[in-house]
Amino acid sequence: MLSAPEVLKNASSEGESWTGNSKLVEWVHNSCGQGSAGVVNGLIFRQLFDKESSTFTYILGDELSREAVIIDPVDTLVERDLSFIGELGLELKFGLNTHAHADHVTGTSLIRNRLPPGSFKSVISASSGAKADVKVKQGSKIHFGNRFLQVRLTPGHTAGCACFVLDDDSRVFTGDTLLVRGCGRTDFQEGDSSTLYKSVHEQLFTLPDQCSVFPAHDYRGRTSSSIREEKRFNPRLGGGKTEKDFVAIMKELKLSTPKLIDVAVPKNMACGV
Ligand SMILES: N[C@@H](CCC(=O)N[C@@H](CSS)C(=O)NCC(=O)O)C(=O)O
């Protein structure tokens, strides 16, 4: 099998007429099995996991243009993520943070330092009060190639939480707002249970039932869910639970404080800058 540089060399020496990196795309397509695995309707999609913090990181790429975004990268796994992105022939444009995490440090600063100046931008909601290259609001769109993610602000776990909905409403990246059969805690970082209940019901449970839910964490080996499933089976927020029920449930959680909170929050408030 040819390596990527060999493909490029052969393409130019044979004087073929092609634009951009279409030969490279073809090489990646053939060598990585992209025709069958991980590409649906032109979207390259990968879910990655950090076992230290039980955090999911997501890579989404536009198959044709190869432009890509990463959601919630973890600082200790930036090398893994960048080599994956390189192997897939993707050009990383944005690093999206669903919020200023309390349990791990974002990788967006390190990624920004590793890529050519100006080529990659860190993203977080304006309402988080954190620093970033791009501060998004309700309805803001982050474009990669022909695809985009649209912002839905979902305060409650933190005041600055945001979820990212794919252009065709097929997937939503929920951060800690909505977890599989759970949700983010509300006992620090301006957390508020009533606000979280409203965010989930107004911003997430209004998405199509078949929309897939991709959270920032899972502690029990689950990877994804759907809006329909969470509306029916989420023991805190679904199955007809009222706001009052939810507030009472959240009061009784009594979770231990994240081990890295004192390091992670200040660093994450300066993400990527
Ligand atoms: N033990 C972990 C922290 C676990 C934790 O508190 N998770 C958060 C999301 S990260 S701030 C949460 O909201 N959990 C909700 C739940 O129901 O578990 C550590 O020490 O880092």
pLDDT tens digits, one per residue of 121-166: 999 999 999 999 999 999 999 999 999 999 999 999 999 999 999 9
With cut-offs at 50, 70 and 90, classify the pLDDT of residue 272: low
The residues lining ligand 1, judged by C-beta closer than 6 Å to any ligand atom, are: 53, 102-103, 176, 182, 184-185, 217, 219, 255, 258-259
Q: Locate 166 and state its tokens.
A: 């794919």
Q: How many residues does the chain have?
A: 273
pTM of structure: 0.88
Residue 167 has pLDDT above 80, yes or no: yes
Ligand 1 atom with the smallest distance to the CA of 103 is 21
Q: Locate 97 and state its tokens.
A: 């943070």
Nearest to 238 by CA among 268, 197, 189: 197
- Spatial CB neighbours of 14, under 8 Å, sequence gap ≥ 6: none
- Spatial CB neighbours of 41, under 8 Å, sequence gap ≥ 6: 168
**pLDDT tens, 200-220?**
999 999 999 999 999 999 999
**pLDDT tens, 7-29?**
333 333 222 222 233 333 333 33
Interior/surface letters 112-142, b for 16+ CB within 10 angstroms, e for the rest: beebeeeebbbbbbbbbebebbebbeeebeb
Number of H helices, E strands in the chain: 8, 13
> Within 10 Å of residue 256's Cβ, how many Cβ atoms?
5
* Rg, C-alpha atoms of the chain: 19
**pLDDT tens, 30-71?**
333 344 456 888 999 999 999 999 999 999 999 999 999 999
Q: Residues 165, 177: contact at Cβ < 8 Å?
A: no
Superfamily designation of domain 23-256: Ribonuclease Z/Hydroxyacylglutathione hydrolase-like (3.60.15.10)
The pLDDT value given to residue 146: 96
Measured in angstroms, how far is the CA atom of residue 44 from the centroid of ligand 1? 29
- Reduce the DSSP state of residue 37 to 3 states and report it: coil
Q: How open is the CA angle 262-105-120, to the nearest 5 degrees?
A: 140
Least confident of 21-25, 94-98, 222-226, 263-267: 21-25
Ligand 1 atom with the smallest distance to the CA of 253 is 17
Query: What average pLDDT is seen over the chain?
Result: 88
Q: How far is CA 248 from the centre of its chain?
A: 30
Measured in angstroms, how far is the CA atom of residue 5 from the centroid of ligand 1? 44
Q: Locate 136 and state its tokens.
A: 């998004």
Q: Locate 104 and state its tokens.
A: 């791990």
Which residue's alpha carbon is nearest to atom 4 within ligand 1?
A: 258
Measured CA to CA, the distance from residue 18 to residue 36 in angstroms comes to 24
Which residue's alpha carbon is nearest to atom 2 within ligand 1?
A: 258
Q: How far is CA 252 from the centre of its chain?
A: 29
Residue 170 has pLDDT above 80, yes or no: yes
The pLDDT value given to residue 31: 37
The pLDDT value given to residue 40: 83
Which residue's alpha carbon is nearest to atom 1 within ligand 1?
A: 258
The pLDDT value given to residue 8: 31
Give mean pLDDT, residues 95-117.
Answer: 97
Q: How far is CA 173 from the centre of its chain?
A: 6
Give mean pLDDT, residues 70-84.
Answer: 98
Which residue's alpha carbon is nearest to atom 19 within ligand 1?
A: 258
Measured in angstroms, how far is the CA atom of residue 82 from the centroid of ligand 1? 26
Measured CA to CA, the distance from residue 67 to residue 62 in angstroms comes to 6
